[in-house]
Amino acid sequence: MAKIKNDNSNKTEEKLIISSAPHLRSKWSVKRTMYLVILALMLPTAAGIYFFGFNAIFVILTSVIAAVATEYLVKLLRKKPFVMDGSAVITGLLLALTLPPTIPLWMAAIGSVFAIAIAKEAFGGLGHNIFNPALAGRAFLQLSFPAQMSVWIAPSGFAPDAVTSASPLSDAFEKIGSNPEIYRELLIGNINGSLGETSALLLLAGGILLIILRVIDWRTPVAFIGATALLSLVLGQDAVYQVLSGGLMIGAFFMATDYVTTPMTRTGKIVFGIGAGILTVTIRLYGGYPEGVCFAILLMNAATPLIERYTQPRPYGLGKK
Amino acid sequence: MSGFSKEFKKGIVISNPVFVLALSLCPVLAVTDTLDKALGMSGAFALVIIASNLIISLMRKMIPDVVRIPVFVIIIATFVSIVEMLFQAYIPAIYSALGIYLSLLAVNCLILGRAEAFASRNKVSDSLADALGMSVGFCLALILISFFRELLGKGGITVFGNELFTLPVLAENPISVFGMSMGAFLVMGLLIAFFKQIGVIKDV
Amino acid sequence: MLDRFKKYYPLFFLVLVILASSALMMSAEKINRLVLESRQAPETLALLQQLFTEATFYTYRVDTEIYTLYDSRRHKLGYAMYGEGFGYRGKITVLAGLKDKETIHNIIVINQIEDISYWNMLKNNNFFAQFIGLKIEECYPSFAWLPGGVDAVSGSTISSRGVTNAVRDAILDKLEYLD
């Protein structure tokens, strides 16, 4: 890390910063990380396409293309070089995976444009954004089009006739008790819901892949899911159901582990996960929206600087203040 | 007369109350979700600031320094109450739509600020020009913001009950975020960014 | 003498300004009240006629806030009262009309800020028609969620509940004051 490119300057000014040894060169780069995440996301994407057919393909394509195009345009406007580092693709893909498959395509495109142009680039681009862009896009759509954002179809693959029904979370608390069959369906993903949130098993596989490859840290997802399960149990809910349904899996593995918008310290990651878990259960059970993962993570994003400040590790050899 | 036009022009672009000074954002953010409300608020604002600037400028030699702020507040609040009653009597629809924000003009920082910083120190014609310029600048800003908010948040433009036009897709599925206060921040921020980009507003 | 005057001049000036401002406001309010009173009666009647088309005049009791409506031959048509409930976005104001102490005649929504898509769901599913002729006793005890005779529009439950709560708010406390 000896050479750090000054972000505000043009390409002519590269500052050479001499730092103390050891000078390590990592094989990691933004690009490599991003493409590994995309690779892991391919699993739930494939499940979404398998279960929801052409609808899913169109929504994903629209969202990704809109995200990349917006990134290109904004970079042009800001007179900055456009780098195809895959972060825009991830934003578009993650956004599409949290949308209902029946959403009109122009709405998906608006969500992508908001995510990239406002939530990411207006704050200064990759590395400077406060909120997770994909989630900000989803929240924007949820607030703007509440009706279209809560239309769920039963998975029917490529068959043309789709049946509208309530999302499992929205009517879960009264009707469905603990039911092993429901658990199986939730694990596989053969259930109505957002595009890529249904298959808990494949999301778990993708998440574990990223943890093994050391792209993400295990602490956040474990704390997040653990806190959700524990609090649901304490409040007398079906914990397994709460964990497997809704956007918890994708949120815990792919969104709460975003490098930019979540704490860097180890304790901070755990605090972040626990906070998000508590907020998720609270919003799910007592809030106006059936799903709380999106807002929970966004709220914790806002608290990230504070968490980092209080969990800063003490440098070795320096005394307490 | 050049002084008059200079003071008048200043309020529209160079120190536009909303986009440059970023003052009195409470009414700007709260009442710009429809064009009607923005026009009503601009009208009330113009009446209050012109009247109070005029009176304060006329009395500037008489007002003792120690009680100047209470006197300004009383004068402004009087005009706000009168404007409120006028609105209630003659345009009740806009009166009820504006709600509390009409009364809140009494503590509007922009009006009080102009009274304290300008009208109490300058002669009557200049104060009048300042008030007129500020009103026009405020009105233009409100109309701009509310135009985009109503267009996107409602899917069409309706002025005093007359439907001017509607957008084909958005009318059924308006982007309702733009109707909320979050949308006001968004639209205002984007407009300021746009004005800076084309060089109307210069960095201070 | 002059010194003393100078000392108390600010106070004197402040009192003068306050008096002048009070005088101005009082005269403005007098005019305002005249205009409002001349306009209020026909406007309210027009609104009430949306509930009871035959209504030609009404009486209003300030203490109980109940409108009583009569037709041109001075037969009592029914009652009307305002109520408020909370929907998805905010307050919903409803004017509920009662035929007599037992039956709801009709309701009209005065003010609401729900999302258009949700509100259209209510409109398209004939939600409001359910209140016409609804017996109050039928829904009185179990008004907690939705009354017996009223079905919420699926997908728009919170708006449905807001309207229903507004109707409940309008009639429940006032039933005993009806004559």
Contacts of C39 in chain B (CB under 8 A): 92
For residue C70, the Cα-to-chain-centroid distance in whole angstroms is 19
Contacts of B67 in chain C (CB under 8 A): 10-11, 13-14
pTM flag (> 0.80): no
Residue B92 has φ and ψ, to the nearest 5°, of -60, -30
Contacts of A151 in chain C (CB under 8 A): 155
- B163 forms beta bridges with B158
- Percent residues over pLDDT 70 in chain A: 79
Given a cut of 90, whether residue A163 has pLDDT beyond it is no
Q: Does B182 touch chain C (CB under 8 A)?
A: no
Question: CA distances (Å), A199 to each of A184, A189, A190, A195, A240, in order?
Answer: 10, 4, 7, 9, 14
CB contact under 8 A, A146 and C117: yes
Q: Does B77 touch chain C (CB under 8 A)?
A: yes
Q: How confident is the model at residue A240 (pLDDT cuts 50, 70, 90)?
A: confident
B-chain residue closest to C9, CA distance: B64
Question: CA distances (Å), A196 to each of A46, A98, B81, in order?
Answer: 8, 6, 57
Say which amino acid occupies B133: G
Question: How many domains does one find in chain C?
Answer: 2
Q: What angle do CA A120, A126, A131 make, to 5 degrees?
A: 45
Q: Does domain A30-311 have CATH number 2.40.360?
A: no
User: Taking residues C46-59, what's their average pLDDT?
Assistant: 82
- Percent residues over pLDDT 90 in chain A: 23
User: Considering all CA atoms of chain C, what is the largest pairwise distance in Å, rounded to the nearest integer?
Assistant: 82
User: Taking residues A159-178, what's their average pLDDT?
Assistant: 49
Range of the domain at C6: 1-39
* C7/C74 same-domain check: no
pLDDT at A5: 45
CB contact at 8 A, A153 and A163: yes
- For chain C, the average pLDDT equals 80
Say which amino acid occupies A247: G
The residue among C43, C116, C120, C159 with the most chain B CBs within 10 A of its CB, best to mutate, is C116
Contacts of B74 in chain C (CB under 8 A): 14, 17-18, 21
* C19/C56 same-domain check: no
Q: Does C8 touch chain B (CB under 8 A)?
A: no
Given a cut of 50, whether residue C143 has pLDDT beyond it is no
Question: Which chains sit next to C, with 3 or more Cβ pairs under 8 A?
Answer: A, B
Per-residue pLDDT tens over the stretch A31-86: 888 888 888 888 888 888 888 888 888 999 999 999 999 999 998 888 888 877 78
User: Taking residues C124-134, what's their average pLDDT?
Assistant: 82
Q: What angle do CA A81, A83, A88 make, to 5 degrees?
A: 120
More confident residue, A1 or A28: A28
- For chain A, the average pLDDT equals 80
pLDDT at C172: 76
- The least confident of A191-200, A235-244, B107-116 is A191-200
Map out the domains of chain A as residue ranges. 30-311
Map out the domains of chain B as residue ranges. 3-197
CB contact under 8 A, A77 and B189: no
Given a cut of 80, whether residue A92 has pLDDT beyond it is yes
Given a cut of 90, whether residue A279 has pLDDT beyond it is yes
- C66 forms beta bridges with C61
Per-residue pLDDT tens over the stretch B82-124: 999 888 888 888 888 888 888 888 888 888 888 888 888 888 8
B-chain residue closest to A117, CA distance: B190
ipTM above 0.85, yes or no: no
B-chain residue closest to A147, CA distance: B173
* C22/C63 same-domain check: no
A-chain residue closest to B179, CA distance: A144
* C143/C59 same-domain check: yes
* C28/C114 same-domain check: no
Scan residues 239-298 of A and list those with Cβ closer than 8 Å to C.
Answer: 288
CB contact under 8 A, B174 and C116: yes
CA distance A199 to chain C (A): 25
- The least confident of A97-106, A291-300, A301-310, C146-155 is C146-155
CA distance B24 to chain C (A): 24
What 3-state DSSP class applies to A31?
helix
Question: CA distances (Å), A60 to each of A55, B51, B91, in order?
Answer: 9, 58, 50
- Rounded Cα distance between B90 and C159, Å, is 33
Contacts of B119 (CB under 8 A, 6+ apart): B52, B53, B54, B56, B57, B60, B127, B130, B131
CB contact under 8 A, A288 and C88: yes
- Rounded Cα distance between B145 and C79, Å, is 44
Q: Which tokens go with A178?
A: 């603990």
CB contact at 8 A, A131 and A256: no
Residue A223 has φ and ψ, to the nearest 5°, of -65, -40
A160, burial (CB in 10 Å: exposed 0-12, middle 13-18, buried 19+): exposed
CB count, 10 Å around CB of B193?
Answer: 12
Given a cut of 70, whether residue C75 has pLDDT beyond it is yes
Q: Which tokens go with A89?
A: 């693709």
Q: Interface of chain C against chain A, CB under 8 Å? A: 88, 115, 117-118, 121, 154-156, 158
For residue A306, the Cα-to-chain-centroid distance in whole angstroms is 21
Q: List per-residue pLDDT tens for chain B, 204 residues long.
A: 567 888 888 878 878 888 888 888 888 888 888 888 899 999 999 999 999 999 999 988 888 888 888 899 999 999 999 999 888 888 888 888 888 888 888 888 888 888 888 888 888 888 999 999 999 999 999 999 999 998 888 888 888 777 777 777 777 788 888 888 888 999 999 998 888 888 777 765
Closest alpha carbon to C14 in A41, B91, B65, B81: B65
Given phi > 0 = left and psi -120 to 50 = alpha, else beta, which region is A86?
A: left
User: Taking residues A278-307, what's their average pLDDT?
Assistant: 87
Q: Does B177 touch chain C (CB under 8 A)?
A: no
Among B175, B186, B193, beta carbon nearest to A110: B175
Residue B23 has φ and ψ, to the nearest 5°, of -105, 160
- Rounded Cα distance between B97 and A64, Å, is 41
Q: Where are the beta strands (DSSP E) in chain A?
A: 3-4, 15-16, 152-153, 164-165
* C50/C133 same-domain check: yes
Given a cut of 60, whether residue A10 has pLDDT beyond it is no
